[in-house]
Amino acid sequence: MTELDFIEILSSYGTVFLVVGSFSGVLCSIVTTITLRRMDQSVAARSKSIDIVRSWSQDEYVNDVFDRMRDMLHGKERPYCDATNSLSSTASDVLNYYEAISIGISEGALNERIMKKWWRTSFVRHYIFLKETVDKHRCFHDMPSLFYEFERLALKWRIESDRVPEFPKAPTLIVPNKKS
């Protein structure tokens, strides 16, 4: 094979090389665009998560709800009203709040890692405390998927952790011995 034959073969395949080169360039552009969009969505979800945590931690209503939830954990309020077969307003508010967070995470609107770092302990603790109440409400009202996203995420976060959060203990009153 002479040099002229080699050049002739290359020129006949030149179109193929050009098409393959163009195709790989387009493919590379598509992959880059998809990657950048996913990165933008991830940055947006992180930013949105931080904004939500900041705004909720400063919201008077949300703070009131979680103050009432602390009271419920200490036995000052019941989570379920047997007379009306309904959740207490505190239990309902907390469960709806956590369900919204869970849906935001499952849909990618909120960053799970950030929300988990901020909420995991109370999320799991409140799930454990309200599980029986939610099951009772689901059964009585025939709503088996009620608060499903919250339950799914709470169980996931509970399993991912080595330690299971304990219920808060009531403070122990220590009375010093009086010497007569």
DSSP 3-54: HHHHHHHHHHHHHHHHHHHHHHHHHHHHHHHHHHHHHHHHHHHHHHHHHHHH
Report pLDDT for 171.
Answer: 46
Residue 103: HSE in the Cβ half-sphere, 13 Å Cα cutoff: 9
DSSP state of 87: E
This prediction has a pTM of 0.62
Tell me the C-alpha distance between 44 and 38, whole Å. Answer: 10
Return the pLDDT at 163: 57
pLDDT confidence bin for 156, thresholds 50/70/90: very high
Q: Strand, helix or coil at 81?
A: strand
Tokens of 7: 């050049």
pLDDT of 152 strictly over 90: yes
Higher pLDDT, 66 or 40: 66
